[in-house]
Structure 1
Amino acid sequence: MRISCSIFAAAFFILLLSGCGERKELETQAFVVAIGLDKAEDDNLVDVTFQIANPQVNTSQTAEAQNEPSSDIVTVTAPDLLAAKELVQTSHSRKVTFAHLETFIVEEDLARSDLFHNIMGSAIVDPEVRRESVMIVSREKASKFIHANKPTMETRPHKYYEFMEKRWEKTGLVPLSNLNIFFHRVDGELFLAIYATTEREEVEKRNEDTYLAGEVPQKSGDPVQMIGSAIIQNRKMIGTLDGEETRLSLLLRRKSLLESMVASFPDPVNKEFRISVRMMRNGNTKVKVDTNREPAKVQVKVPVRLQITSNPGLVSYTMNEEKQKILKQSIKENLERSSLKLIKKMQNEYKGEPFVWYVPARKNFWTVKQFEKYDWEKHFQDADIDVQYDVMIENFGEQIRPPVK
């Protein structure tokens, strides 16, 4: 009996410890936090840049790594990402892993080529590549972007990308852009990717959100600017949207995770100035699509709440109810005019829509084949579209007494 119990106990512990056979020590691994993809000189090859985090920087071992860089940046040329992952091991002593990979940076020239989708499609074969990884399109080469990106406030590169990618929820100046959404909208529908650069072509504009990356007049600070979108359709990049157009695209979607944004509008009373407001969604956007008529009819109603944050023209909106109505109507008309201008641009120039209106349109059909035969993208180009903003102003700034009745 004692021998049987001993054998059973030994077998039990062997089963418990057998899972340690594939154990890998942290110090033996090299964690890639960002990957850059560029066109190589050979049309069928790609330059892959790996930004590998230094695990000692900004940890308890910082004293031992005072003179070490925060990351190691290596570029290799290969047919695809997985082949590049093997090639980089020829010069790197640790096992390269994508377990912490969160960011793909794609050169604009590559994004506009037919090779782009093939490279991205082969990338997700690796089980370590997560579909939540963010996609950024850089105006310059991705390798140059990664080398030039030296943020002053973040010593750990993965934290920089993580914080910057989260900013879209608060500003709306860039879209939610990850591999999962990219592969869902790879054919037909438009996909918006984050547009960024470290190069400068500064342009001063009165409207603060009508910039593209690189145009924002910035005198110092981090070199990277992320603002606007790269438009991707049918597996390649076809154009760009600026910050304002990106914001409107998010507002016109039926559902969006965008929390709030600060925007400015012309002061309707004192036209030399602009009024800044904090804009928030006041519920989901209502989208109705009628596919039983020609042309198709789309009705969109966007509910928004506004808080006046700045009034440089010093117009007494807090004390004058009539001026409040003028301001509210002016903002409503401005939003509707800008939205319709964007929609016309998408219909005439890009022949597609980034507003995800194909979802309510698809509900009008019994089967997917019927919807595909209808060809929503083609019907969108001629659709009759009506956009209305339901504007509610919560407050008009600081006030010391109630408005005059």
Structure 2
Amino acid sequence: MYRNIYVKATFVAISLLLLSGCWNSKELDDLGIVVAVGLDKTEDDQFLLITQVINPSEIATDAPTTRPPVSIYESTGDSVFEAFRNMTQKSPRKMYLSQLRLLVIGNKLAEEGILPSLDIFYRDHEFRTAFFVTIAKDTGVKELLKVLTPYEKIPANKLMHTMEAVESSQGSSKGIVIDELISQILSKGQSPVLPGLLIKGDADTGTSIENIEKIDAPTQLRVDNLAVMEKDRLIGWLTPEESKGLNYITGDMKSTTVSYPCNDKGLVSVEVLRTDSGLKANFKGGEPSVLIELELEGNVTELDCPIDLTKAESIEDINKEVEKKVKQNMEASIRAAQENFGSDIFGFGNLMHRKNPEYWKTVENTWNSEFKELKVDIQIKAQIRRKGNTTQPITKEE
């Protein structure tokens, strides 16, 4: 009997040790929830840190107020961590970083190289790794993060959702999270791309509450095309067509629109609904090459041409025109990467490494030079699945 009492008492004592409570808990009223971080370099080579912090009382209510939904804090430091600590001189609350949605890199830092400054965002346990990394184009990070946005109260959420929408429906950009970015920077066979953010309109007007009180906000935040990196340094920007071409090649194109003129009498528009991209490395006579095989499916969404969609040859003509248009985008992207930038943003080097490790050992340290001369073949197969509710243009003459 005494043995059973002893066992039960021991069990209770151990259980009490496990019920020690939240030893490192912090009250919500003591935290400043950071949703976006801007990072750049100052003229004296210090790190410039900008944080966009939620004002909880403004987010909790739908009633109109005269106070902004977010606040901006700025600090500098010899390191990013020091800049975060120096921010305590201005912020009444400790910065809470687990809800970070967006990291915006300034142009000066991007051109110098971003890898050293990313270390804290990947190493520190307070950061989750699901936030997007972007580059501020033609504007400063502070000016960009100060712009207030309609519809979405929190500007960082607006930018994140816009990037997701562009990636899923338009295809000229895509979201890049920090895990993927660092992996590509450290890879010798692929350089990364990053989405750009810009301000349309006057930056000073965008900081006013009046900016979100109008039907058409005079100052808006936009997601731009993709930035080309050489390892961790910004070296240029792709056009919308080149950005789409890259997403076709890498298999990241989810959906987009392909339009083309027909006999100078109107346009045909096709909604691309699915793509399947395959890359193959070939060695013929010792010379490397890459074959890109792309299959895509789509629907006819708009028809302003005298085309009869009941005829099989009409559908085949549309397939060929779509293939031609998509191939032009892909060729433009490859040409820009090889001739303008000399940076393998497609991962062809990783493909060579997997296919022929012995060959890769001889070129891995000079791959960007080899990449410039790499032959790339493209094969595309388009299939129109649906024609819509009518097989004739509504302007067709009887």
Q: TM-score, normalising length from structure 2?
A: 0.84
State the Cα distance separating 1:38 from its structure 2 match.
2.3
* Identical residues among aligned pairs (%): 17
Equivalent residue of 1:318, what SS?
A: coil
Letter in 2 for 1:275: V
Q: Does 1:198 align with 2:199?
A: yes
CA RMSD of aligned residues (A): 2.8
**Pairs within 5 Å for 1:144-223:** 144-148=143-147, 150-167=148-165, 168-187=167-186, 188=188, 189-199=190-200, 220=217, 223=220
- Other-structure match for 1:285: 277
**Pairs within 5 Å for 1:93-104:** 93-104=92-103
Once the two structures are overlaid, the 10-residue window that deviates more, 239-248 or 350-359, is 350-359
Aligned pair count reads 373
State the Cα distance separating 1:227 from its structure 2 match.
2.5
Structure 2 vs 1, CA of residues 88 and 301 (structure 1 numbering), >3 Å: closer, same or farther?
same
Structure 2 vs 1, CA of residues 326 and 359 (structure 1 numbering), >3 Å: closer, same or farther?
same
- Other-structure match for 1:275: 268
- Other-structure match for 1:42: 44
State the Cα distance separating 1:394 from its structure 2 match.
1.2
> Can you list the C-alpha shifts for 1:244-265, whole angstroms capped at 9, x where unaligned?
2112111111x43x4212232x
CA contact (8 A) 1:174 1:228 kept: yes
CA contact (8 A) 1:291 1:361 kept: no
Once the two structures are overlaid, the 10-residue window that deviates more, 96-105 or 344-353, is 344-353
Gaps of 5+ in 1: 202-218
> Can you list the C-alpha shifts for 1:167-201, whole angstroms capped at 9, x where unaligned?
21232121231211211111542211011101459
Q: Does 1:260 align with 2:261?
A: no
Letter in 2 for 1:104: L
**Pairs within 5 Å for 1:379-394:** 379-394=370-385
- Other-structure match for 2:107: 108
Structure 2 vs 1, CA of residues 90 and 348 (structure 1 numbering), >3 Å: closer, same or farther?
same
**Pairs within 5 Å for 1:26-37:** 26-37=28-39
CA contact (8 A) 2:97 2:127 kept: yes
1:16 to 11, 15, 18: 18
CA contact (8 A) 1:47 1:76 kept: yes
- Other-structure match for 1:57: 58
Letter in 2 for 1:346: A
Gaps of 5+ in 2: 203-215, 393-398
CA contact (8 A) 1:34 1:52 kept: yes
Letter in 1 for 2:124: D
Q: TM-score, normalising length from structure 1?
A: 0.83
> Can you list the C-alpha shifts for 1:260-303, whole angstroms capped at 9, x where unaligned?
12232x2233x253322111334x31211114545422111100
Letter in 1 for 2:224: I
- Other-structure match for 2:130: 132
